């Protein structure tokens, strides 16, 4: 146990010794503080701690203000900063961990210690996740405090972003680790991680778009204008497009074994709740009770957001990661050093 903790501590020291770690942390704190400077209150919205204000004549109810504040976090900050740029910076920083670890002199000392190679491999792998873990935790602490002070409501669901983003990063990083122990090349491991990430994200985006076109738009009573790419309310019920439905099924089938990085990030919306309603239940916050068309649209959007179960997203992604890490660990254990 002492040796495992030592590896974690050494990995943390190596990561914090890199300038990129502090650059990423500084950017995370800056963006979180910018978010904290926004206030959504009864009188309207203000940014930069009141420097700019937009009044709302009708006022903004407390539950709606919380919804706006939290959806900004889940729809903008998490997917674009924590789920994209922060992960890119983390990959660039930690992709060299295993190639450097496998260099002659470093690996010789490590494997000579009374610790199994399997334990050594997974300890080194898990310790590399500290880069993202520290970044996301600091970010969420600031967001949690900002939301609590602004809305007078302490929503601990915000901290679900920490395990979810670490999980998403681990899916991508596992590919980099496999290529690293196989080729000992930092550049190749980084490129392959980006390639797998891009392919899996593309299939998830395509599946979401096809589902929306084949199911969401018709079920909401909308009609798609393909010349403009916009949808409008139709007076007559719309039928499902069997062609699009078939293409959707094929794309979804191909995407099953791939890591669900995009979908896993969106799970955060189901974890954060306001008055017992999660953030995917848009109609509970925005729909007018007597507006049937808007209720249908919000219901269709909720079905789109919840079309994949949590067990499917996490389970299929874990299966992918288990296969990749098993191959990487096998190579690591069997190689002569």
DSSP per-residue codes, 151-167: HS---GGGGGHHHHHHH
User: Which tokens in the block code for residue 128?
Assistant: 């590399």
Name 189's Cβ contacts closer than 8 Å, sequence gap at least 6. Answer: 95, 98, 99, 175, 176, 177, 178, 179, 180, 183
Give me the pLDDT at residue 235, please: 47
Residue whose C-alpha is closest to residue 140's, from 153, 157, 126: 157
Give me the pLDDT at residue 228, please: 45
Give me the pLDDT at residue 291, please: 54
Give me the pLDDT at residue 167, please: 94
Give me the pLDDT at residue 57, please: 61
177 touches 232 (CB < 8 A): no
Cα–Cα distances in Å, from 292 out to 221, 233, 295?
10, 11, 5
Measured torsion, CA atoms of residues 196, 202, 203, 208, in degrees rounded to the nearest 10: 150
Give me the pLDDT at residue 112, please: 59
Torsion-angle region of 286 (φ positive above 0: left; ψ -120 to 50: alpha; else: beta): alpha
DSSP per-residue codes, 82-129: IIIIHHHHHHHHHTTHHHHHTSTTHHHHHHTSSS-HHHHHHHHHHHHT
The SS3 of residue 223 is strand
Give me the pLDDT at residue 101, please: 76
Residue whose C-alpha is closest to residue 189's, from 166, 213, 208, 173: 173
E strand map for the chain: 39-41, 44-47, 52-55, 222-225, 230-233, 273-274, 277-278
Q: Which domain holds residue 55?
A: 2-334
* Beta carbons within 10 angstroms of residue 239's beta carbon: 7
Name 43's Cβ contacts closer than 8 Å, sequence gap at least 6. Answer: 53, 55, 56, 59
DSSP secondary structure letter of residue 38: -
Give me the pLDDT at residue 67, please: 83
Cα–Cα distances in Å, from 48 out to 17, 44, 81, 202?
32, 14, 19, 35
Rounded to whole angstroms, how far apart are CA atoms 84 and 193?
A: 13
Give the helix ranges, DSSP H, for 212-272.
217-219, 242-255, 261-266, 268-271
The low-confidence residues of the chain, meaning pLDDT below 50, are 224-229, 235-237
| Counted domains in the chain | 1
Write the pLDDT tens digit of every residue in 216-257. Answer: 666 555 554 444 445 555 544 455 667 778 888 898 899 899
Rounded to whole angstroms, how far apart are CA atoms 16 and 111?
A: 24
Give me the pLDDT at residue 225, please: 45
User: Which tokens in the block code for residue 83?
Assistant: 């789920």
User: Which tokens in the block code for residue 210?
Assistant: 């096809």
98 touches 181 (CB < 8 A): yes
Query: pTM of the predicted model, to two decimals?
Result: 0.84
């Amino acid at each position: 146990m002492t040796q495992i903790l030592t590896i974690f501590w050494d990995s943390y020291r190596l990561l914090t010794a890199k300038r990129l770690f502090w650059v990423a942390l500084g950017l995370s704190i800056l963006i979180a503080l910018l978010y904290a400077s926004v206030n959504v209150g009864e009188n309207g919205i203000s940014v930069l701690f009141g420097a700019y204000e937009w009044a709302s004549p009708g006022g903004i109810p407390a539950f709606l203000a919380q919804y706006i504040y939290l959806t900004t976090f889940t729809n903008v900050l998490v997917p674009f900063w924590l789920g994209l740029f922060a992960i890119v910076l983390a990959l660039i920083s930690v992709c060299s961990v295993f190639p450097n670890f496998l260099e002659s002199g470093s690996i010789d000392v490590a494997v000579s210690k009374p610790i199994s190679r399997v334990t050594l491999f997974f300890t080194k792998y898990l310790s590399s996740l500290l880069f993202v873990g520290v970044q996301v935790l600091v970010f969420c602490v600031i967001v949690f405090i900002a939301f609590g002070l602004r809305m007078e409501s302490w929503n601990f669901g915000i901290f679900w972003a920490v395990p979810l983003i670490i999980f998403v990063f681990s899916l991508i990083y596992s590919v980099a680790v496999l290529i690293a122990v196989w080729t000992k090349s930092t550049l190749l491991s980084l490129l392959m991680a980006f390639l797998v990430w891009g392919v899996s994200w593309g299939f998830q985006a395509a599946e979401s778009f096809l589902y929306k076109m084949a199911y969401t738009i018709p079920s909401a009573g909308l009609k798609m204008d393909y010349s403009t790419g916009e949808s409008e309310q139709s007076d007559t019920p719309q039928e499902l497009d069997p062609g699009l439905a078939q293409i959707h099924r094929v794309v979804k089938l191909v995407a099953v074994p791939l890591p669900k990085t995009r979908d896993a990030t969106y799970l955060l919306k189901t974890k954060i709740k306001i008055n017992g309603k999660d953030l995917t239940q848009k109609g509970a916050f925005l729909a007018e009770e007597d507006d049937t068309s808007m209720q249908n649209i919000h219901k269709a959007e909720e079905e789109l957001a919840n079309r994949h179960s949590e067990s499917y997203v996490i389970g299929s992604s874990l299966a992918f990661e288990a296969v990749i890490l098993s191959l990487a660990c096998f190579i690591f254990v069997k190689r002569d050093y």
